[in-house]
Amino acid sequence: MIACACLLASACGGGGANVSVPPPDATLAFSASPGTVASNGSSMLTWTSTNATSCAASGGWSGSKATSGSESTGALTATTTYTLQCDGAGASVTRSATVTVSATPAPTVTLTANPNSVSSGGASILTWSSTDATTCTATGGWTGAKPTNGSQSTGALTASTSFTLTCSGAGGSTGRTVTVTVTSSTAMFPLHTEVGKRYLIDAQGNPFLIQGDAPWSLIVRPTSAQAEQYLEDRRLKGFNTVLVNLIEHKFADAPPKNANGDAPFLTPGDYATPNEAYFAHAEDVINLAAAKGILVLLTPSYMGYNGGDEGWYQEMTMNGATKLRTYGQYVANRLGGHDNILWVEGGDFNPPEKSLLRAIVNGIRDVDTAGRLLHTFHGNRGTSALSFLGTSEAWLGVNDIYTDGTSVVANAFTEYNRSTMPFFLIEAVYENEGVGGSGVRTQAYQAVLSGASGQGMGNNPIWLFGGGWQSALDSAGARTLTQLRNLFAAHSWTLLQPDTSNALLTSGVSSGANRAAASRAIDGSFALVYTPSVRALTINLAQLTGPRVSARWYDPGDGAYATVTGSPFTASGGMSFTPTGNNSQGDGDWVLVLESTP
């Protein structure tokens, strides 16, 4: 054992020769991400080596490379293999990575903003669709994962903002960007009309779809902070119009005084004695609305139901036409410089003496000689402005309908056939006063799909700011009507013509509150059909230009789309469509969206 140990010691260097240790071999990790791209797509090559002093590329690339690094392949049109060999003192190592160019097409993405220009504090609706995509991601002015098709409000914008959406699928990724320009807060207003156009037009030349609420007591009952709270909630929900009394006769804490204790007249009921403090507060509320891009339908002297104590008709009679005209001049001078006003004359009453109605109008027009601000009339339920006033009132620029819950479509058809003057649903049945959220939606969709250029809802307790009004801000009606605006923003709604003869919707129409409403674009590019309940709807697809027609159900509760099984269909003949069940709100109403496709 000792002899052996000595021998080993001698051999191991106990005065003998050194033994050579071989150098370590090179190692290499090499990958391509993504491994599959669409034609003209690119991938990133990434590599890391150890024990290497040099690396050389071959195959789909060439030349010397760093021992660790990354490099884009550039645009690829064919499947390509990339090889990298790294050398060192030890053995060399070679690795390859293949990037497959898929025959699957790259996703297509469309992204639009409507409107693409808003006033400061205003919002736009982003609408997008894609094909051959499985995921979409938002960046820029919005973030997070998005469905492959959908719509979403931008929320309040105070600066021009770009929104980017990138959608990915087996064929690669495609991105699109849209920019919403923010202009000054008053740029949207005033509104105007143009001959032959059945809708209102804003100061930028864009169509203005009235999405309204009726907070009648907004100027008198809430404090300034509460008015701000209400208007901001409505702005965030997509409302752009409010119906308000300038002077309130009954529905206030101490009528006709506002929350500050100021009455509209220094001498009660005397229109010749306007109180500056009262109207200064009214102006503040109108300014708040303007800053949020909200139109104020302003009733200068609400007459009241049947001319009774809810309104000012009795006082108007006692004051007479001369004082009323002077009052009209006063409010025009005091408030008429605000472009976000559309004057609403009357108020729940068809006055037997129209001279009192005209007196205030004439006073306003004495100041607004250019007719810069529009006027309409609000009468008894069942009355339109044109049916009561006729066509001889030069000041009447906008028509409206005031209906019950069963006659929206019939009244809308009458006014659509009467005149090309724009009309809208100014009131129907209020939420919690005969209908719930689905009833509010039904009235709204029936109006806009029957020729109206917008609609207004109402809610109790919000209209009079009664007890619990803040809790009612998120009512089902208000919350889900956001989806109506989103749907119309995603389509060229000014092209729609109501299906007055049932040429499109041939069966399943029904009647009254359950009546379906259908409208078709004049060029046959799309059609929208609303049904208040789950039932079969027979559609004449030949009314669409085609040659094929895609069909989707739109949930008016949450804005989700569901493609109809078998879609797209040939644009010919009749076809029956039935929703599969209730919508996201547990109600039976749906919108059938039909679009011509190649």
Q: What is the pTM of this model?
A: 0.74
- Per-residue pLDDT reduced to its tens digit, 209-223: 999 999 999 999 999
Q: In what order do the strands lie in the sheet with 36-37?
A: 36-37, 93-101, 80-87, 54-59, 63-65
CATH 2.60.40 describes domain 496-597: yes
CA distances from 103 to 38, 79, 130, 345, 533 (A): 7, 10, 18, 65, 44
pLDDT score for 175: 87
Identity at 564, one-letter amino acid code: V
Q: Per-residue pLDDT tens for 287-298?
A: 999 989 999 999
Residues 461-474 have a mean pLDDT of 98
Task: Give the closest residue to 505 by CA, choosing from 570, 439, 577.
Answer: 577
Instruction: Work out the pLDDT band at 20, boundaries 50, 70, 90.
Output: confident
Regarding beta strands 526-531 and 590-597, do their DSSP bridges make them parallel or antiparallel, or are they unpaired?
Answer: antiparallel
CA distance 30 to 392: 83
Strand partners, 138: 144, 165
Helix axis angle, 276-291 relative to 224-236, nearest 10°?
A: 20
Question: In the prediction, which pLDDT does 7 show?
Answer: 38
Q: Which CATH architecture has domain 27-101?
A: Sandwich (2.60)
**pLDDT (average), residues 99-121:** 82
- Which amino acid is present at 76? L
Please give the pLDDT value at position 172.
82
Tell me how far apart the alpha carbons of residues 111 and 38 are, in angstroms, rounded to a whole number: 21
- Numbered ranges of CATH 2.60.40.2470 in the chain: 27-101
Tell me what the pLDDT averaged over the chain comes to: 93
* 330-344: pLDDT as tens digits: 999 999 889 999 999
pLDDT in tens, 496-549: 999 999 999 999 999 999 999 999 999 999 999 999 999 999 999 999 999 999
**pLDDT average, residue stretch 565-574:** 96
For residue 433, the model assigns a pLDDT of 98
- CATH 3.20.20.80 maps onto the chain at 202-489
Regarding predicted confidence, which is higher, 155 or 436?
A: 436
SS3 state at 365: helix
Separation CA 491–CA 541 (nearest Å): 18
Candidate from 47-61, 150-164, 262-276, 441-455 with smallest mean pLDDT: 150-164
Query: Which residue is associated with the tokens 């009679």?
Result: 317
Residue 6 CB coordination number (10 Å)? 11
Contact 38, 101 (CB under 8 A): yes
Contacts of 254 (CB under 8 A, 6+ apart): 261
Q: Which stretch of 30-34, 107-111, 219-223, 361-365 has the lowest confidence by average pLDDT? A: 107-111
Name the CATH superfamily housing domain 108-183: Immunoglobulins (2.60.40.10)
Q: How confident is the model at residue 5 (pLDDT cuts 50, 70, 90)?
A: very low
* % of the chain residues with pLDDT over 70: 96
Can you give the pLDDT at residue 114?
A: 82
pLDDT confidence of residue 18: 67
What is the rounded (10 degree) CA torsion for 7, 12, 16, 20? Answer: 150
- For the domain made up of 202-489, give the CATH fold: TIM Barrel (3.20.20)
